[in-house]
């Protein structure tokens, strides 16, 4: 296959879709890889690295995509780039399939599109699961920026200048990002509690040494390991429990998501106002509306001495490793496709089929809620 | 040979047995202990052969040669897996010998018309009873293990009562003979026959899995029978050795029961409560898993040159990371090497095992990626799988129908032996059976990983 | 006679306690070898068998004695040999490290 | 004693000299405390808290300092405040005694000055040692901001998207701040090495699970547990060792200080250029000139993809706990003074005497290097 | 009483001794074991009193009453600290009794003019020799410990040779008497006197600190003497009990030597090599520290209701945080309570102990500030100080001249007992002596904290 | 006579081994009590003393017998009482938890 990698154009995006190491592996497997100059710069992968691994470096985007069969991307490339692609070219990246915007654009240009969001959550596909890998970064980073914004220490310290009590960290939504946040906060010495609507998560939270906030008879496990929306009575019970618990917290990290739906609203403005002065909320669901009523995506909000951070694209702030992991996911996917006979062949495969949102200009099922 | 010298030599033989048995109970000295005990036996037999009361050697030599040859042949021919039944058989023969000696002494006095003194008389009856029970009981145990008859417990209504009646009858007949030394021969034969029957009936209701305990108990009986014979022929070495074997056999039976977490009474009479007996875990397809005791697992680990630890989600659930580290330290202190094999998706979040092991301060350079370690499993003496399941499931390699087919896994099954620590036969995240657990090289140590590791740690300290 | 019998009982009692005290902690791997080794010791009844066989008290004693010697010697020789075989695994291991 | 606490006026300063808890203890010990309104706001201590502990709240700075015998401060108050104080009033805070500026100003107004920098480094005085308490904050924070700026993870992670190798962190200067940085980086899972010129530190570094970079025959332990400047040959050996070691580092945290001297220059521009793309240097000595040649105090410098942070007043970014610790130091000092007979009495006491840089308008020894 | 019944009752007494001694070797059963053994003794004495050969009871009853009363009085009066010398004294008396019984039997035959059979003759000589050595040897040990004579080893040139000559002479005289039963009285007296002398000379060169081992050995001798007496008067219970005490005494002596890291030979003849004997660590001012074995420390911890752990810089240096956690878990599993007392300046950086204990996952709610915990030390059974020094130095309270005077410290010295783990008598950061280590309630367990804790952890698992 | 002597030797040997096997691991705190308890047992020589004292073989036997009984009984009674006192510490502790 002929694979193209462009410099990402999104604001603040420092990641790159394929890192030199993956490029090398693909080249050795017989593929050709064309990389736009400076594509890896932001993530700390200079052009020389790509060249050394056998990539062809191209000066412009159009040069890069010429004759490409596959375009490896992170976000959906700009329309002009898509326009320059030969019909039938496969484009892979995070395409927010729920919105349908990507599908529309890709079909317009007769392309084939694979959304990384749609990798099935099976043990087998885990090595292609970029949502997981980027969520890992996000969970880790959320604790760091939260700790940085907090006017307190996370760990307990007994010193000659008095004893510092450990910070209480509350993680809402203990999926991939949430669990990583729990682990990171625990590493830093915080006392961590967590809540999730899927009951299996309790054991996982405890396996990281944190406490699970139990709300009786709340269970909303959907298909594929994702959560569902809560029934009204469950929602009420959750609200009451969270409101009572959140009062004593110093740092709250929210990660709750329901695929294809806006993020569930879990922290109301009243809850925020009940919190202690100086506490901090990091809302990782900011992009899809936020788990906190007051969250503003990409902004820092202060409400009565409580700081609410709504970072967007947080994985991009750890560009080196985020790229490395994404690249490995993509590489595994490409190798898998090649083994299955290439993009032109059947979409019967449970993984490839599930990810394909547009086939040669024709939109397909793809949506998890479809 | 003067009588005093004879006695002293017998005492030396007994001392050899004492020291030999002591040494047999520790791995480091067991081989020597057994040989010392054999030397003692040789001494005892040679001394006996030089006894002044022996008039003819023909029969003796014939018996010695035939018996030794047969014994040696049996010992050579038997397969390692058939050892327990072989012990049972040999033990039965020992019991038989005591029975015969007791009987011969009785018949001799009968023939000579000499009344037996009361003590000889009592001990002859005991030799007969215990020797006969040992003989047939051991033979039944042998048959069960050799699968000549079904290994399942054979119970019928009133069996316990029947056994009690039998025993009472034997004792009554025996007592009658003691009191009436001039009596007829039929009570003697009755005691023999009823005792032989009792041996059969006592072992029948015990399941095949419990046979080792039964054999150990019968072994203790054969010791007591020998001691009784010693009383009959007024020979101290028989009394000492017999009593030694008698009591150590009972203690050993108890130790064995304890290792199985059961009581001796439960083993002997357990079948009467639950008709089922012990059941070994068997999968749907009839494959069976092999369990291992913590003590045995500890010995394996202690003598291993390379141990690869495969941690999984269960280790995190058990929060036993510190114990793993401690176990590894202990293995390393003994000169073994320990590596950790970290599967990319072990646990429930990326890097789960790293967090866990970092908490326990496991040095990073002992953590190995799947690609780095997979080729090393072949030279590992033990792969110690702790609360991992899917990441070592060979179905990913072999079974195209499996939902995890195609996922790279850790080659734990390539290790010379595999020890798996988990709570039961529960499945992992993928919810599928794992044939690794049914692999003949795999041994399961069931229980919460924290509890199992605690025991392993304390056991390994005791391995000498 | 009785004097000797009581000495016998004393000896029997002491040996019984000795047997109990000897066996403290036995690792499960040694359960079967230990059982087998002790079983070989119980073949000491061979001593009795030889005396019976050699006593020359008519054919009954001779036949029974022969049988007893054969049985007991099988127990003795087989027992020690089998135990030794089982113990081979402990012999090499500690050396080759 | 009548103690005054003002709102700090320095830019970015969110700390307060005394927190309500300390105020309460002093009030219960019979002292009077006057607090300027809003003094604790930035650190998360509202006025009500002070009032509840028995402080008198005053609306203006001049109101607050009226009749005060002691002015508890962090930085040297502005000249107009000093002017408003009655002669002989004791002023306590971080006064940078080496510069001599504070002594000049204080003597100008006939005041008495105690510099918190001059608390002796003895076991007994440790509970008044504000340098240590603030350095603790700085060491912790340095790792957080360094980790945030780094494009990599600190911990090792074995994931389905490849294995992330742990970051290598190098701490230069393993005093109070350095040791705390080591501990924090180790908590986050980094592989940590450290260097210091005082040989006793080796064991301390190892007691935290880090590796000590040994440079043969380098030893510069001065009096009071502080370091001295290195002899030229020692300096050369250190340079060579650091240059060789720093190449492989991802995050470098420097904390080396020599009291009363500019910070030693340890990392040259050439060394920075030899570092890997994406690595980060956090220079905690920025205020006194920096341990790195390229450091600019208060700025972020980028040199060939290496980021150099030169944070100033870093303790102020954790205002709640930094204030709490400083306040406890100050409180202990005040209690100690009161027990010794008050400020008017003798300066013979080894602790009080050592700290006094101006007595009733007369400048005193005070400097550690004097 | 028929002879057989007598023998059986004696056997029962012996069984009581056997079980009693077994039980005495474990803390949980020791009290009962001692009492069972006492019951056995009562049985044996009563049986003897009913013996048909006894013709007059006056002397016996007088002796019993006087002896029992004196014994009871001694046992009541003695101070707990003087126990070892009391045991020595009592043991000497036992040896003396054997000497006298042997002598009386000899004199009796002499008076009656009856020639002694050879076995009696031999064992009489052995009773004399061993009984006499036990008597005077024990008395010397008693005197040394009671400080009636100097506890220092008393050695002179040629002592070993002299002892050898003495022993040879005794044996020769004894042999001569055995061979010539019709002999005169003087060799008998010579044997007695020389043996008494030998006892004195053998114990003289051994230092006071090693006396417990010597007493244990003499105890073994008195057992052997009793066994010899048993041969003399043809009594099995004496033979059994004597042999039992004889062998278990030797084993116990060996165990005691091992606990002191020395060999028996080194204890007995050590003074000849180094004239100094053992030295206890003493500070400049002549105060001495008390060392404790890991085993004893483990027992104290195991039976404690509240243990307060005081970690310090040394714990961090040793990197033994995980072991502390494990030890605490073990104590808690036994029902004890464990708290950690964190001094504000423990370690070398603010929060040092927190980082350390957090690594080992010690729950935060077990960490106590100085103010919170200081009042609790009084009710703590053990304060376990691990690598801490300055933060528990009472000089901060008492000694105005001390550089740390006035600093608040952890009141570890208020605990009922204090165990300190450190490598040696090194000082801490402040560089000053710590009188806590010389406190009589303090016991030092020297060694790297990691090593000491490893041993403690494994020992505490064995405390029953 | 010799027969009895040899039985004595057998018994002596067995009891010796039993003594060795009984004492395996003794915690140091129990060293002194165990020594003292064993010492009390060695007072069994009281049996011999009583026989001598009661044999009525003239005044020598009587005087020596009396002495022997006194010594042995001091050993026995003192030994058991002292041991019991030392063991008090193990008696209360486990209960009051
Ligand atoms: N790493 C990730 O990012 C991630 C995320 C989501 C899902 N997953 C999936 O999770 C799985 C991980 O594999 P794995 O091998 O680590 O775990 P696993 O396959 O889930 O198996 C864990 C095993 O541990 C045992 N266990 C549970 N608690 C235990 C305890 N307290 N003591 C002893 N054993 C215990 C369970 O058996 P018993 O019940 O019999 O004890 C279970 O079979 C993979 O299928 C992976 O795809 C991974
Ligand atoms: N916390 C802080 O912020 C800070 C900062 C600077 C200074 N300080 C000072 O440091 C001191 C802290 O007191 P501390 O009680 O924690 O410690 P310490 O007084 O320094 O005593 C530590 C003791 O641990 C022992 N030790 C060292 N290594 C050991 C090992 N491997 N195993 C066993 N023992 C070991 C040493 O005795 P041996 O040599 O005999 O083993 C030493 O006496 C105070 O004086 C404090 O003022 C504290």
Nearest residue (by CA) to ligand 2, atom 11, is: E429
What does each C-alpha distance from B72 to B60, B66, B89, B158, C81 come to in angstroms? Answer: 18, 10, 13, 42, 7
CA-to-CA distance for F97 and F95, rounded, in angstroms? 5
What does each C-alpha distance from D331 to A336, B445, D29, D86, D130 come to in angstroms? Answer: 67, 59, 11, 22, 11
Could you tell me if the ipTM is greater than 0.85? no
Given the residues A107, A132, A180, A193, the one annotated as active site: A132
CB contact under 8 A, A160 and E364: no
Q: Residue by residue, what is the 3-state secondary structure of chain B? A: CCHHHHHHHHHHHHHHHHHHHHHHCCCCCHHHHHHHHHHHHHHHHHHHHCCCCCCCCHHHHHHHHHHHHHHHHHHHHCCHHHHHHHHHHHHHHHHHHHHHHHHHHHHHHHHHCCCCCHHHHHHHHHHHHHHHHHHHHHHHHHHHHCCCCCCCCCCCCCHHHHHHHHHHHHHHHHHHHHHCCCCCCHHHHHHHHHHHHHHHHHHCCCCHHHHHHHHHHHHHHHHHHHHHHHHHHCCHHHHHHHHHHHHHHHHHHHHHHHHCCCCHHHHHHHHHHCCCCCCCCECCCCCECCECCHHHHHHHHHCCCEEEEEECHHHHHHCCHHHHHHHHHHHHHCCCEEEEEECCCCCCCCCHHHHHHHHCCCCHHHEEEHHHHHHHHHHCCEEEEECCCHHHCCHHHHCCCCCCCCCCCCCHHHCCEEEEEECCCCCCCCCCCCHHHHCCCEEEEECCHHHHHHHHHHHHCCCC
What does each C-alpha distance from B398 to A175, B373, B395, B407, E20 come to in angstroms? Answer: 31, 20, 5, 11, 63
B307: phi > 0 → left, psi -120 to 50 → alpha, else beta; which?
beta
According to DSSP, the residues that pair with B282 across neighbouring strands are B288
According to DSSP, the residues that pair with A212 across neighbouring strands are A194
CA-to-CA distance for B56 and C53, rounded, in angstroms? 8
What does the radius of gyration of chain D's CA atoms come to, in whole angstroms? Answer: 22
CB contact under 8 A, D164 and A132: no
> Chains B vs D: touching, with 3+ CB pairs under 8 Å?
yes
Give the pLDDT of chain C (97 residues) as one tens digit per residue.
467 788 888 999 999 899 888 887 777 678 888 889 999 999 999 999 998 888 777 777 788 889 999 999 999 999 999 998 888 766 544 434 3
The answer on pLDDT for E286 being more than 50 is no
For this structure, is A129 an active site residue? yes
Q: In this predicted structure, what is the pLDDT of residue D222?
A: 76
User: What is the pLDDT confidence band of residue F89, given thresholds at 50, 70 and 90?
Assistant: low
Residues contacting residue D79 through CB under 8 Å, at least 6 positions apart: D105
Contacts across the E-F interface (CB distance below 8 Å): 389
Ligand 1 center–CA B399 separation, angstroms: 20
Let me know how long chain F is: 97
Let me know how long chain C is: 97
For this structure, is A132 an active site residue? yes
Strands E337-342 and D356-359, by their bridges, are unpaired
CB contact under 8 A, B26 and C30: yes
Which among F4, F7, F18 has the least Cβ separation from residue C21? Answer: F18
CB contact under 8 A, B345 and D160: yes
Let me know how long chain E is: 464
Reported as type and span, the H/E element at residue A112 is strand A112-115
Closest CA to B352 of B393, B408, B406, B314: B314
Span B301-317, pLDDT tens digits: 987 889 999 999 999 99
Residues contacting residue F89 through CB under 8 Å, at least 6 positions apart: none
Ligand 1 center–CA D162 separation, angstroms: 20
Q: Which two tokens stand for residue B171?
A: 């004792």
The Cα of A186 is separated from the nearest Cα of chain B by a number of Å equal to 10
Cβ(D269)–Cβ(D295) below 8 Å: no
Residues of B that are catalytic: 390
The Cα of F60 is separated from the nearest Cα of chain C by a number of Å equal to 31
Cβ(A174)–Cβ(A193) below 8 Å: no
Reported as type and span, the H/E element at residue A359 is strand A356-359
CA-to-CA distance for D251 and B425, rounded, in angstroms? 46
The Cα of F2 is separated from the nearest Cα of chain B by a number of Å equal to 8
Tell me how crowded residue A79 is: count the other CB atoms within 10 A of its CB.
11
- C-alpha dihedral sign at E255, E136, E241, C44: positive
Pocket of ligand 2 (CB under 6 A): D 123, 126; E 312-314, 317-318, 345-350, 352, 387-391, 421-430, 448-449
Backbone angles phi, psi at D308, to 5 degrees: -120, 115
Asked which of A5-19, B181-195, E164-178 is least confident by mean pLDDT, the reply is B181-195
Span A219-263, pLDDT tens digits: 877 777 788 888 888 899 999 999 999 999 999 999 999 888 899
Measured in whole angstroms, the distance separating CA D313 from the mean position of its chain's CA atoms is 8
Residues contacting residue E120 through CB under 8 Å, at least 6 positions apart: E105, E231, E232
Half-sphere exposure of B446 (CA within 13 A, CB side): 12
Cβ(F86)–Cβ(E212) below 8 Å: no
Alpha helices in D157-231 (DSSP H): 176-187, 201-207
Q: Any idea what DSSP says for residue A154?
A: S
C15 — contact with chain F (CB < 8 Å)?
yes
Q: Nearest-CA residue of chain A relative to D137?
A: A153
Closest CA to B125 of B178, B65, B71: B178
Span C42-54, pLDDT tens digits: 999 999 999 888 8
The Cα of B358 is separated from the nearest Cα of chain A by a number of Å equal to 9
Nearest residue (by CA) to ligand 2, atom 1, is: E345
Residues of B whose CB is below 8 A from C5: 119, 231
The b/e string for E323-335 (b: 16+ C-beta within 10 A; e otherwise) is: bbbbbbebbeebe
Mean pLDDT confidence for A265-270: 95
CB contact under 8 A, F97 and E335: yes
User: What is the pLDDT confidence band of residue E271, given thresholds at 50, 70 and 90?
Assistant: low
What is the greatest pairwise CA distance in chain A?
A: 70
For this structure, is A226 an active site residue? yes
Ligand 2 center–CA B463 separation, angstroms: 36
Residues of A whose CB is below 8 A from D276: 44
Residues of B whose CB is below 8 A from A123: 345, 390, 403-404, 407, 429-430
Q: In this predicted structure, what is the pLDDT of residue F90?
A: 62
CA-to-CA distance for E437 and E65, rounded, in angstroms? 48
Nearest residue (by CA) to ligand 1, atom 5, is: B348
The answer on pLDDT for A338 being more than 60 is yes
Ligand 2 center–CA E394 separation, angstroms: 15
Ligand 2 center–CA E313 separation, angstroms: 4
F70 — contact with chain C (CB < 8 Å)?
no
Residues of D whose CB is below 8 A from B346: 158
Helix B159-179, helix B186-203: angle, nearest 10: 150
Residues of E whose CB is below 8 A from C11: none
The Cα of C32 is separated from the nearest Cα of chain E by a number of Å equal to 26
Pocket of ligand 1 (CB under 6 A): A 123, 126; B 312-314, 317-318, 345-350, 352, 387-391, 421-430, 448-449
CB contact under 8 A, D188 and A188: yes
CA-to-CA distance for D160 and D163, rounded, in angstroms? 8
Give the pLDDT of chain D (370 residues) as one tens digit per residue.
899 999 999 888 999 999 999 999 999 999 999 999 999 999 999 999 999 999 999 999 988 998 899 999 999 999 999 999 999 899 999 998 888 889 999 999 999 999 999 998 887 888 899 999 999 999 999 999 999 999 999 998 888 888 888 999 999 999 999 999 999 999 999 999 999 999 889 999 998 889 999 998 788 777 777 888 888 888 999 999 999 999 999 999 999 998 888 999 999 999 999 999 899 999 999 999 999 999 999 999 999 889 999 999 999 999 999 999 999 999 999 999 998 888 777 678 888 988 999 988 888 864 443 3
Closest CA to A291 of A309, A313, A315: A309
């Amino acid at each position: 296959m002929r694979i193209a990698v462009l410099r990402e154009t999104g604001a603040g995006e420092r990641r790159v879709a394929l890192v030199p190491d993956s490029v090398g592996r693909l080249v050795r497997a017989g593929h050709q890889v064309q990389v736009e100059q400076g594509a890896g710069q932001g993530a700390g992968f200079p052009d020389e690295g790509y060249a050394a691994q056998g990539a062809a470096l191209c000066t412009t985007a159009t040069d890069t995509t010429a004759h490409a069969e596959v375009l490896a991307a992170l976000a959906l490339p700009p329309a002009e780039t898509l326009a320059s692609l030969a019909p039938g070219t496969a484009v892979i990246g995070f395409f927010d399939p729920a919105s349908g915007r990507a599908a529309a654009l890709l079909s317009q240009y007769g392309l084939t599109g694979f959304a990384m969001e749609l990798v099935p959550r099976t043990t087998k596909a885990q090595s292609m699961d970029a949502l997981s890998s980027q969520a890992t970064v996000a969970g880790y980073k959320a604790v760091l920026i939260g700790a940085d914004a907090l006017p307190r220490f996370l760990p307990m310290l007994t010193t000659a200048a008095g004893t510092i009590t450990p910070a209480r960290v509350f993680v809402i939504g203990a999926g991939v990002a949430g669990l990583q946040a729990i682990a990171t906060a625990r590493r830093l010495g915080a006392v961590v509690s967590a809540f999730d609507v899927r009951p299996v998560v309790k054991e996982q939270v405890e396996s990281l040494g944190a406490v699970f906030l139990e709300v009786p008879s709340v269970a909303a496990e959907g298909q594929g390991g994702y959560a569902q929306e809560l029934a009204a009575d469950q929602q009420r019970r959750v609200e009451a429990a969270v409101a009572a618990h959140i009062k004593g917290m110093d740092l709250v990290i929210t990660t709750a998501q329901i695929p294809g739906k806006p993020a569930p609203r879990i922290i109301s403005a009243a809850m925020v106002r009940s919190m202690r002065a100086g506490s901090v909320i990091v809302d990782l669901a900011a992009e899809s509306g936020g788990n906190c009523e007051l969250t503003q995506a990409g902004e820092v909000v202060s409400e009565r001495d409580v700081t609410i951070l709504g970072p967007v694209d947080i994985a991009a702030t750890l560009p080196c490793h985020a790229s490395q992991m994404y690249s490995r996911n993509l590489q595994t996917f490409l190798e898998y496709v090649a083994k299955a006979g290439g993009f032109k062949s059947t979409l019967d495969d449970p993984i490839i089929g599930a990810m394909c949102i547009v086939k040669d200009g024709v939109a397909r099922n793809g949506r998890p809620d479809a | 040979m003067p009588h005093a010298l004879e006695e002293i030599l017998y005492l030396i033989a007994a001392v050899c047995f004492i020291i030999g048995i002591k040494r047999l109970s520790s791995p480091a000295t067991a081989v020597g202990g057994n040989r010392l005990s054999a030397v003692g036996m040789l001494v005892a037999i040679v001394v006996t052969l030089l006894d002044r009361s022996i008039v003819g050697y023909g029969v003796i030599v014939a018996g010695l040669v035939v018996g030794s040859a047969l014994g040696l042949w049996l010992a050579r021919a038997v397969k390692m897996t058939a050892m327990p039944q072989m012990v049972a058989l040999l033990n039965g023969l020992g019991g038989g010998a005591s029975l015969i000696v007791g009987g011969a002494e009785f018949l001799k006095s009968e023939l000579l018309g000499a009344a037996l003194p009361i003590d000889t008389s009592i001990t002859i009856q005991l030799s007969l009873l215990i020797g006969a029970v040992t003989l047939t009981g051991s033979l039944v145990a042998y048959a069960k293990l050799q699968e000549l008859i079904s290994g399942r417990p054979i119970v019928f209504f009133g069996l316990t009562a029947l056994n009690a009646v039998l025993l009472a009858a034997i004792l009554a007949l025996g007592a009658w003979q003691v009191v009436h030394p001039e009596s007829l021969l039929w009570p003697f034969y009755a005691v023999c026959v009823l005792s032989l029957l009792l041996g059969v009936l006592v072992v029948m209701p015990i399941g095949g899995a419990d046979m080792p305990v039964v054999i150990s108990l019968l072994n203790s009986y054969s010791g007591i029978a020998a001691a009784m014979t010693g009383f009959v022929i007024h020979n101290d070495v028989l009394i000492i050795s017999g009593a030694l074997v008698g009591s150590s056999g009972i203690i050993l039976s108890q130790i064995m029961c304890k290792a199985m977490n059961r009581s001796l009474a439960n083993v002997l009479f357990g079948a009467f409560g639950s008709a089922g007996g012990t059941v070994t875990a068997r999968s749907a397809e009839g494959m069976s898993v092999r369990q291992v005791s913590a003590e045995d697992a500890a010995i394996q680990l202690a003598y291993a040159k390379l141990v690869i630890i495969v941690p999984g989600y269960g280790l995190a659930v058990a929060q036993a990371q510190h114990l793993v580290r401690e176990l590894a330290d202990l293995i390393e202190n003994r000169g073994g090497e320990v590596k950790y094999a970290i599967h990319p998706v072990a646990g429930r979040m990326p890097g789960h095992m790293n967090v866990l092991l970092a908490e326990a301060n496991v040095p990073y350079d002992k953590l190995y990626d799947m690609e780095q370690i997979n080729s090393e499993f072949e030279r590992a003496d033990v792969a110690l799988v702790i609360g991992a399941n899917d990441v070592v499931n060979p179905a990913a390699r072999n079974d195209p129908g499996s939902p995890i087919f195609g996922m790279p896994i850790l080659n734990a099954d390539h290790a010379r032996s595999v020890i798996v620590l988990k709570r039961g036969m529960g499945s992992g995240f993928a919810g599928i059976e794992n044939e690794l657990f049914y692999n003949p090289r795999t041994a399961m140590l069931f229980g919460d990983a924290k509890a199992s590791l605690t025991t392993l740690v304390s056991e390994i300290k005791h391995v000498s | 006679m009785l004097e000797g019998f009581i000495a016998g009982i004393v000896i029997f009692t002491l040996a019984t306690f000795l047997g109990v005290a000897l066996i403290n902690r036995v690792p499960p791997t040694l359960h079967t070898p230990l059982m087998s080794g002790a079983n070989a010791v119980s073949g000491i009844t061979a001593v009795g068998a030889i005396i019976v066989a050699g006593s020359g008290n008519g054919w009954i004693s001779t036949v029974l004695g022969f049988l007893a010697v054969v049985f007991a010697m099988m127990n003795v020789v087989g027992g020690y040999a089998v135990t030794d075989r089982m113990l081979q695994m402990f012999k090499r291991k500690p050396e080759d490290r």
